[in-house]
Structure 1
Amino acid sequence: MRLIDKVCLITGGAAGIGKATAEKFLAEGARVVICDLDSDAGQAVADELGNGAAFYKVNVTERADVQAWVDDVIETFGRVDVLVNNAGITRDGLFVKFKDGEVVSQMSETDFDLVLNVNLKGVFNCTQAVIPQMIKQGGGVILNASSIVGLYGNFGQTNYAATKFGVIGMTKTWSRELGRYNIRVNAVCPGFILTEMVKKMPEKILEGLAAKTPLGRMGQPEDVANLYAWLASDEASYIHGATISIDGGMVLGT
C-alpha cells in the first residue's frame, strides 16, 4: 500500500498503459481519477475498479476542459498528489516520400499539429493546472510518458518523436523549477508494449519486435504501471529529473 490515500490523476486512462496504471495505483491504496475522450471505455474502467476510482471526460488539448477537471478533483478530494501524463496518439508517416525524382507524399501539417497538441501541449496543460495545488499542499509527483522514440527517433514518426523528445525537455526543465517546492518530475520511456492497439498488428511483425528485444519478449502494460507506482511512491523520493527507459533492453538490440 505504497500510495495509501494519495489522490492520483491519470490521463488516457481508458485503456492500455493508462488502465493498467489505474489498476496498480488502486491496488496500492490510491484514490484514482482517470480521464479520457472515450466516455464509454473510461466509465467502464472506473466501474470495474469500483470504490476509489472516478472517470471524467477530458480533452487534454483544451485548457478550459483540463482546468475544470482539476478544479473539480480538488473540490472533491482536497488535493492532488500524483499526475501521470499518459495520454498520447500517433499519426505515423514519412516526413517526405521521394520516388522517381518526385515527391509522392509527405507528413501532413494536420497530422503534425494533432500529435503535438495531444502529446506535448496536453502534458503542458495538465501539469500547469495541478502545480498551484501541489505547491500549496507542500509537494507532489509529475510522471510524464515519453518513449524510446524520444531518445533515438524512429522511421516515419517525425511528429511523435518531436513530442517525446519535447516531453523529456519539459521534464528536465520542470525538475529544475519545481524541486524547490518538493514536486518531483520524471519521464518514463517505454519500448514496444503489448497494448490493445499494438496487439492488432500482424503476428509476424509482433514476433519480429520481440526478436529484436534482448529479453526476448515485448512489454506488458503492467510493466510500465509498476514503474509508475514506484516512482509515485515515497520509495523514489530522491528520483527527480530522471529519464527512465523500460524497453527490455531493446535499444541495445536495434
Structure 2
Amino acid sequence: MSLYNIRRRNPLVHCITNNVVTNFTANGLLATGASPIMADEVEEMNDVVSVVDALLINIGTIHARSRNAMLVAGKKANERGIPVVLDPVGVGVSAFRKETVKELLDTVTFSLIRCNAGELATIAEVEWHSKGVDSGDGDMEVAEVAKEVANKYNSLVIVTGPTDVITNGETVLYSTGGNELMTQVTGTGCLLSAICAAALTIDGNSIELLQEVMQNYKDVATKASEQDLLGSFQVGVLNAIHVLSRGEEY
C-alpha cells in the first residue's frame, strides 16, 4: 500500500500550491506521514529545493511572483534529480495560465502531470468545454491523449475522473471506485497531487506505485463518504488517509 510506504519513507515535500488549499494540503501530507513545506518566495527557492525530497507545482492561484518561483524551483529540482509534479489547475481558463504551463513544460522536466480531462485537453490542444477549474465535457479518448502527452513530455500522466487513468506513454493502468463528494470539496485534487509527489520518492516501479496511490485515494473517498455529509467530508478524508497510511482497518 503506497500510503503506508509514504509513512515509512517520511519524505519532505515542497509545495508551491494555491492559497485556497495550503492548509488542507499540509494537513493531508502530515496525515500520510510525509512532511510538508510551503514556500513561494523566489529568493529562497534554491535553498528550499536543496533540502526537500520532492516538489509540487500547482498553478491554482498563479501570479507573476509565484510563476518565477516555480521556474526557479523546477530547474533546481531537475538539477538534483528529485521528483517534480505539475498540477495545471484550470489551465484553460486564461491565456496567462496557458502560457505559464507551456513555459513550465518547456523549461522543467516533470516526473508527473496530474490533471483532469479538461486540463489534459488544453495541454494537448484538443477541443473541450471546461468549466472554470472543473473538468467540463467533450469528445476525447482520454487514455490515448494521455499517452500522447506522456510521450511528448517524457512524463507520467494521471487523469482523474470516475475512472482514473495512469500512463507512462505505453502502459495504461486504471483505478476505480471512490465517491463524487470528492469533487465537491475544495482541495482534494490538489492534495492528491502532493501525495503523488510524496509517493514518487519511494523506490520501485513508478506507474505501479501511482496506481496504488490512486486506488488508495478512491478508498479514502469511500471511507470519508460513509456519513454522506458534505460538511464533514473533508475531515473524513484526513481521518481516512491517516488510518490507511498506518496500515490499519478503518
Would the TM-score normalized by the shorter structure come out above 0.5?
Answer: no
Q: With structure 1 as the length reference, what TM-score do the two structures score?
A: 0.43
Which has the greater radius of gyration? 1
Higher relative contact order (CA 8 A, sep 6+): 2
